[in-house]
């Protein structure tokens, strides 16, 4: 059984057999012989192609009588921390300054290697490195607000000022006192039905919201770092938490307009294009030519397309609402399948 808006069956079979992460969110696969359905990335032994059915959503698979796999958990948003890890993460939140060792992890009944693999896969660094960077970022924030370096070091869990200074230089490339005019950008991952997203925000505004598998993400981070003279630290703040709530409400269909303050990092022309995108009504689309006319540059269709592609605040700055002159989907950094899903969601909610 093949549902609508899916890739060709041969493409899905190949993606499922090689556990292709880029198809996570595009489809789920039902296995006839077991009666379960899985993500494309499921680590379980793969079924034979003739025993597979494909569905665009877990809901479709459930309605067809399949049960969710207990290993890959297709009903959870991709990137959601697994159940076995959640007690450790909750304990970390109670005391973010605590310095964790492998023995500490083992004392919680967990394998340090297993925890390390999950953090490397989802955060690009080990568990200890993640929380060390978080402690250092919190310390930098304290120094920037007037706290003494020694006090910040102590509250970050360091026993000596020299050890703190050395760790700080290794991570940020300079000492705390030399980074007074930098901007701290807190970065966190949030889960969505279309895959995990990276959120980056200063204390005042959102500057980054992008799917973590987008190829341009490193370039976007580099651009933001340069324009804001920013340092990125794994942490959360009021803006990040607000964005997470708004994005969840958006995907649930209960929010159409976002209120989070934005700080887009681009040229004057790019910012004008992004502001124009924000004027496209929920559930509707515009062509690149339409956007070019709206910013007073009717001949700059290519430049508008380029600016659209440089948008680093996905979903909230709705570059997914721009389509080709013929109405076809073109040019979305997060993947055309995501663009289609976003438009489908908005049209369904808006009753279009």
CA dist., res. 36 & res. 62, Å (int): 9
CATH superfamily of 93-179: Homeodomain-like (1.10.10.60)
Q: Which entry of 42, 72, 207, 319 is annotated as an active-site residue?
A: 319
Q: Encode pLDDT of 199-211 as tens digits.
A: 999 999 999 999 9
Using pLDDT thresholds of 50, 70 and 90, give the confidence band for residue 4.
very low
Q: How does residue 175 score in pLDDT terms, banded at 50, 70 and 90? A: low
Structure tokens at 347: 């049209």
pLDDT digits (tens, 9 = 90+) for 85-125: 889 888 888 877 788 889 999 999 999 999 988 888 777 78
- Which CATH class name applies to 9-68? alpha beta
Strand 230-234 to 183-190 pairing:
parallel
Q: Structural domain boundaries of the chain?
A: 9-68, 93-179, 186-350
Q: Is there a common fold for 93-179 and 186-350?
A: yes
Q: Which option is the CATH number for 186-350: 1.10.10.10, 3.90.1150.10, 1.10.1840.10, 3.40.50.620?
A: 1.10.10.10
Determine which of 192-196, 285-289, 322-326 has the lowest per-residue pLDDT on average: 192-196
Q: How far apart are CA 154 and CA 107, in angstroms?
A: 25
159-187 average pLDDT score: 70
* Angle (nearest 5°) at CA 228 between 149 and 123: 75
pLDDT at 59: 86
DSSP-derived letter for residue 81 is P
Q: Is 160 exposed, middle or buried (0-12, 13-18, 19+ CB in 10 A)?
A: exposed
Q: Is there a catalytic annotation at residue 207?
A: no
Q: How many CB atoms lie within 10 A of CB 224?
A: 22
Q: Indicate whether 30 pLDDT > 50.
A: yes
Whole-number pLDDT of residue 180: 67
Q: Comparing 83 with 219, which gets the higher pLDDT?
A: 219
Kindly tell me if the per-residue pLDDT of 191 is higher than 90. no
The catalytic position among 38, 69, 72, 265 is 38
**Is the pLDDT score of 256 beyond 90?**
yes
pLDDT-derived band at 176 (thresholds 50, 70, 90) equals low
> Three-state SS for 342?
helix
Strand partners, 230: 183
Per-residue pLDDT, 177: 62
- In angstroms, the CA 131 to CA 134 distance is 5
pTM of the model: 0.72
Question: For tokens 């959360």, what's the residue?
Answer: 236
Q: What percent of the chain has pLDDT over 90?
A: 46
Interval 124-142: pLDDT, tens:
788 888 887 777 777 777 7
252, 72, 82, 101 alpha-carbon torsion, rounded to 10°: -140
CB 96, CB 131: distance < 8 Å: yes
Q: Is-catalytic flag, 42?
A: no
pLDDT of 20 > 50? The answer is: yes
Tell me if residue 84 falls in helix, strand or coil: coil
Give the mean model confidence (pLDDT) for residues 46-50.
91
Q: Which two tokens stand for residue 284?
A: 């509707």
């Amino acid at each position: 059984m093949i549902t609508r808006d899916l890739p060709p069956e041969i493409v899905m079979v190949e993606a499922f057999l090689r556990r292709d992460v880029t198809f996570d969110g595009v489809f789920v696969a039902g296995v006839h012989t077991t009666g379960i359905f899985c993500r494309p990335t499921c680590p379980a032994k793969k079924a034979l192609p003739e025993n597979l059915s494909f569905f665009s959503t877990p809901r479709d698979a459930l309605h067809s009588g399949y049960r969710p796999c207990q290993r890959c958990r297709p009903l959870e948003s991709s990137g959601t921390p697994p159940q076995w890890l959640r007690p450790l993460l909750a304990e970390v939140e109670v005391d973010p300054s605590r310095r964790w060792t492998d023995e500490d992890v083992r004392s919680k009944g967990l394998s340090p290697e297993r925890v390390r693999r999950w953090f490397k896969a989802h955060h690009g660094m080990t568990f200890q490195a993640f929380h060390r960077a978080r402690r250092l970022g919190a310390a930098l924030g304290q120094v920037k607000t007037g706290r003494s370096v020694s006090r910040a070091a102590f509250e970050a869990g360091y026993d000596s000022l020299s050890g703190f200074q050395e760790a700080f230089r290794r991570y940020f490339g300079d000492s705390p006192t030399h980074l007074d005019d930098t901007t701290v950008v807190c970065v966190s991952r949030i889960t969505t039905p279309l895959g995990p997203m990276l959120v980056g925000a200063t204390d005042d505004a959102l500057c980054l919201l992008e799917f973590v598998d987008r190829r341009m993400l490193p370039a976007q981070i580099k651009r933001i770092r340069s324009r804001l003279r920013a340092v990125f630290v794994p942490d959360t703040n009021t803006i990040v938490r607000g964005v997470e709530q708004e994005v969840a409400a958006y995907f649930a269909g209960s929010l159409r307009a976002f209120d989070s303050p934005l700080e887009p990092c681009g040229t004057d022309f790019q910012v004008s294009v992004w502001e124009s995108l924000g004027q496209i009504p929920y559930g509707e689309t515009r062509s690149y030519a339409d956007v070019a006319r709206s910013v007073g540059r009717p001949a700059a269709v290519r430049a508008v397309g380029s600016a659209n592609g440089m948008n680093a605040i996905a979903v909230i700055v709705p570059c997914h609402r721009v389509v080709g002159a013929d109405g076809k989907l073109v040019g979305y950094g997060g993947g055309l399948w995501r663009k289609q899903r976003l438009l489908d969601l908005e049209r369904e909610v808006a009753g279009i």
